[in-house]
Amino acid sequence: MRLPLTWNDSQRFLKLAAAAVLVVSFAGVWWSVTDCAADEAPEKSASLPADNPFAAPSPLPFHAPAFDKIRTEHFLPTFTFGMKQQLAEMNAIASQKAAPTFENTIVAMERSGELLTRVDNVFFNLTSSEKTKPLQTIETELAPLRAAHSDNILLNRKLFERVEKIWQEKASLKLTEEQAELLKQRYESFLRAGARLSDPDQARIRSLNEQLSKLETKFEENLLAIAKERAVVVDTAKELDGLTAAEIAAAAEAAKARGLDGKHLLQISNTTRVPVLTSLNNRALRQRVWEASANRGLGRDGGIDNRGLVLEIAQLRAERAKVLGYENHSAYKLQNQMAKTPAAARKLLTDLVPGVLERVKQEARDLEAMIKESGESHALAPWDWEYYAEKVRKARFEVDEAAVRPYFELNSVLKNGVFFTMNKLYGISFRERHDLPVYHPDVRVFDVMDRDGSQIGLFYADYFKRDTKRGGAWMSSFVDQSRLLHEQPVIVNNLNIPRPAGGEPALISFDNVTTLFHEMGHALHGLFSDVTYPTVAGTATPRDFVEFPWTFEEDWAIQPEILANYARHHKTGDPIPKDLLAKAVSAKKFNKGFETLEYLAAALLDLEWHMLTSEQIPADVESFEAEALKKAGIVHPAVPPRYRTAYFAHIWSGGYASSYYAYLWSEVLAADAFAHMLAQGGCTPENGATFRKEILKRGSSRDPMVSYKAFRGSEPTVDALLIRRGLK
């Protein structure tokens, strides 16, 4: 049985389907139900009411959720029944008299919890994409129940004894490669949960998991409220000088939706920087917007304060690691990742710092020169960086973001860019359908067809920003592929593209263009999955491998042959002028020092927090943050971390604690793989078939480096990454 894990990604917070027994979880905690649940397991005759849409697999194609029948009141009873049902199944596996075998124990565990998986996949997609107050209340109530439920499975000594017996006999079992990997993951998950701990230590682990589940859920709830709280209200359109007419109209509509008729609302993005900072001519307003973003969660002006939550979460994680026998949370978290140790992850980051800082200093000098050229005398501040970077970009490459956007209309980018590339590379096609119910009118649904005409699964696209959706962009799944359970994938991509004013086309930034390709990389990882067991399907891979396919697909967005197919004027249909296209592609590597430094700062901040022991947790969040960045030698007054501690969703509520480095680790693989593919002919069916066979279809059914070497022929080097980021 697989429990899905959602996590935020700046850009890209997505859903990783992972087994409960892999000891990963929603909001970074283990999911479960109370200790007494085993005694309250339902009789075989018990069932959910017939009108509960989760009681049986959905009758829709590929078991897609029946959103026209699902109601808020269905969730809690289904979760309660589903957790009890799975515990009964697990207890039956643990108590059987037959000697443990791979089939009667490991495979039986894979089959368990199908009802819980059905409701999980829908509920946690909704709490990410369309979170209402009632759903938020249920989420809060569920957190400790799910934490206990997982502990009841992973700390079940009889169940562990059966798994351990199979592990000890594995050499004689003649397991397939996938079966051997599944057994390894199952066995290690019990050990990492504390299956061998004493009863008092197991009791402490249960308590810590319960507390963390509540705190991490609270952090996520706060972030949604903070995004609304920190939005900047502007009194007049005159103050928005520099924005396009469409952007000003959208800001007016956003204000009106909040009951602020006649005003304008500038929404705060997921990261520290906010897109409008590139265009606003009003420096005082730029400062207001930047400070509203950078000071989130600090309790300023009577707002929501996340600092106490952060310190408590860090303390409890460090204590849990100690009880489990690890030096700190990072050591625990990275043991089963590709990096293996915090030292290896930290070295990857710090090795780049000197070169990146030199690039940033040069970029800063260019911006300071532009400030003077503009007739200003102020120092370069964080709220100035992107504004003057855009001016330098225009001057150096003679390209204006506003001049480029008309050629990037959302639907054209999706169909003539993303879908076109996927067809060219993998032979798949997307056919929109309008007969399936969706959870919001923004959502679109597509059949995904393979080269031979067979259907792979379904793809849902939810691209516009709204108050009920968390920030960033991510991939998730409603149904995960499994030959054992006869399931084919139902995948969803989420972005947060600003909604255009009524009737206007959605003209998107180049960043959102690449994000569309990026999230499709994750979607393909789920769609192309071709494994037997749900635990190892799709994106259920190590964190520092799962981001590899997105970066790989993202790079197609700037290939000339691909760009030429989708970059067309939304009114005339004329292709983007070759000189403008060439400038836009060249400008893509501009400002990479800034972008890399802000990422490195956030990734190192993550590691510094989670390499602390419980005795080392500081009393003050802001002081620790400043000292941590200073220790890493990464301080620059005009380049703050991409995420500051108080709103760093990845690491406090999104499952990326100690793993934010994974984006760079995965990018090493992606850049190397893309360079290899270009050397082999580029976007060809042959190259796509190899990547699909060795990477995308495998999930975690074998060691990720084995998969990479099967595709590439060797381990990766960092050279292609440095070139990709314009640092070499």
Catalytic residue list: 519
Q: Which of 330, 351, 383, 434 is nearest to 640 (CA)?
A: 383
- Quickly count helices (H) and strands (E) in the chain: 29, 9
Distance CA 416, CA 569 (A): 13
Distance CA 393, CA 74 (A): 53
Token digits for 28? Answer: 């970074």
658 phi-psi bin (left φ>0, alpha ψ -120 to 50, beta other): left
The sign of the torsion formed by the CA atoms of 384, 388, 393, 398 equals: positive
Which residue bears the tokens 């990326």? 656
Q: Which of 95, 78, 89 is nearest to 112 (CA)?
A: 89
Distance CA 717, CA 713 (A): 12
Token digits for 490? Answer: 């139902």
Backbone angles phi, psi at 678, to 5 degrees: -60, -40
Distance CA 692, CA 549 (A): 10
Q: Which residues pair with 445 in a beta bridge?
A: 433, 460
472 phi-psi bin (left φ>0, alpha ψ -120 to 50, beta other): left
Kind plus residue range of the DSSP H or E element containing 444? strand 444-449
| Residue 494 DSSP label | E
The pairing of strands 490-497 and 474-479 is antiparallel
Which residue bears the tokens 């992972």? 18
Q: Which residues pair with 491 in a beta bridge?
A: 459, 477
Q: What is the CA radius of gyration of the chain?
A: 25
Which residue bears the tokens 């997982």? 150
Backbone angles phi, psi at 700, to 5 degrees: -110, 35
Contacts of 618 (CB under 8 A, 6+ apart): 311, 612, 624
Backbone angles phi, psi at 405, to 5 degrees: -50, -40
Kind plus residue range of the DSSP H or E element containing 404? helix 401-404
3-state SS record for 44-61 = CCCCCCCCCCCCCCCCCH
| Angle between helix 342-350 and helix 592-610 axes, rounded to 10 deg | 160
- Distances in Å between the Cα of 176 and the Cα atoms of 22, 171, 173, 183, 269 are 20, 11, 9, 11, 46
Distance CA 187, CA 457 (A): 31
Distance CA 703, CA 190 (A): 19
Q: Which residues pair with 100 in a beta bridge?
A: none
Tell me the three state secondary structure of residue 462.
strand
Contact 189, 21 (CB under 8 A): yes
Alpha helices per DSSP H over 105-236: 108-111, 114-129, 133-154, 157-168, 177-193, 199-229
Backbone angles phi, psi at 715, to 5 degrees: -75, 160
Token digits for 494? Answer: 């989420």
The pairing of strands 2-6 and 15-19 is antiparallel
Tell me the three state secondary structure of residue 475.
strand
| Residue 541 DSSP label | S
